[in-house]
Structure 1
Amino acid sequence: MFAILLFLVLHWYLSLFAQSFFHHRYAAHRAFTMSKGWEKFFFAYSFVTQGSSYMSPRVYAILHRIHHAYTDTELDPHSPSFDKNWISMMWRTSFTYVQIMKEKMVIEERFLKNVPQKNWLDWWGNTWYSRILWSGVYVWFYVVFAPSAWWYLLIPVHILMGPIHGMVINWFAHKYGRVNFETDNTSKNLFKVDVLMLGEGYHNNHHKFPSRSNFAVKKGEFDPVYPVIALFHKLKIVKINNVVA
């Protein structure tokens, strides 16, 4: 049982870190820069930790920039304002993602500036072969370590880890929580201290200051990813564009 719980927690947080640090703050918002060598490293890190739900950093960046430009409008790729439930919202998000990935959607030039370029991981990680192989790894782990078949119910969580992370923020953080700053959208902060979503729950803060590397703004808030970014900055792995406390 311990092995299963440890695997679930590690998969949740390591894949979420890839999404928050690399896809969101770096690829989409360029809150910091890094060398091409480190970019390749975090491409590989994202592929390994996201596994069956690997997302192209390039496509994610474009998709997320569209979200910020058209939040809560019909052009928003994921908005509770235009979907009856989180399932239909995530289905629409997935459809838009595939359209961008296959270059079947016209993208405004402003959304393409400084996005990570395609590489072989973007191709391989988004094939069904890759997703099925990673799913097989998760199934194998549970067959070996799960104390009973009931634990197999957690396997879909691993397979759909990325979409689950996206659903928590894109659905719930636009419907529930508190507002620190008045904006022209429905973004809210889900938590006072966001450990569960590694700072991504400070969605209202983020919509107010999208280029900040630290999503925590007010006293008592804590963004677990920012200290890592600050450490990487000191180690010269990244260069923060706007250093904030």
Structure 2
Amino acid sequence: MKSAYLTLGLPGDANPEEIRQALTVAQARFTKEHLVDHPEDMERLQSIRDAAKILLNPEMRAAHDRKLQASSTTPSLSMRYVAEVPETPWYQRPIMIGALLVAVLFSAGFYLQNKNQERKRELAMMELERRKLEEQEAQPKLAEVAKREAMVAKMNADAKASEEKLRRESLVSSRNAEYQNSLAMSQQNQRAYLERSEAQRKESAERNAKYQAQQDAQRNLAIDQQRIRNLCMQNYGRPHC
């Protein structure tokens, strides 16, 4: 059976703090960049995580110790350090070396981060200076463009004012002509309206007379039919002869 203590390079009586330190050192060594370059170490990192998980859980650690004792003829768990190791990988070195490696890595990262920030600040200052120079060089050109735009705007305003004056004069003349036409049209429409009203009155009177005649004819027909039905009933005992 493979020992979790041997995987982490710890003695059989290692405490939880030592187990966590060994796991921290391993994770600092197997970074994402390292795993990209050495994908074969992914399995080693997973075995280290599994070993730490077993030893940090009291119940799982007790079960692991029982199995380890049952599979071994020598009580290796009672020893302070694991004796012989077929291979001495980096994670079986003393914890202080791993801690020193972590400190060096963090220091290097902090130094690179500061250098990057300084470089970014320098680039920002250079960009600011470049923009200031561009603005200074562009000011005369902007003034000339503004002057031209003002002249064009004045010419457009004068043309617009002349056009508006002509439009008003044309509008007044057009309105006067429209008024005269409207007056003549109104008189003509009034005469036509009177003529249409008279024609409609006559037509309405003719329709009413025709309608009244039809109503009288229908009423007389209904009276005659009723008289015939009455005579049939009197003579033959039925409404139809």
**TM-score, normalization by structure 2:** 0.20
Where relative contact order (Cα < 8 A, 6+ residues apart) is larger, the structure is 1
**TM-score, normalization by structure 1:** 0.20
Higher share of residues assigned helix: 2
Structure with max Cα Rg: 2
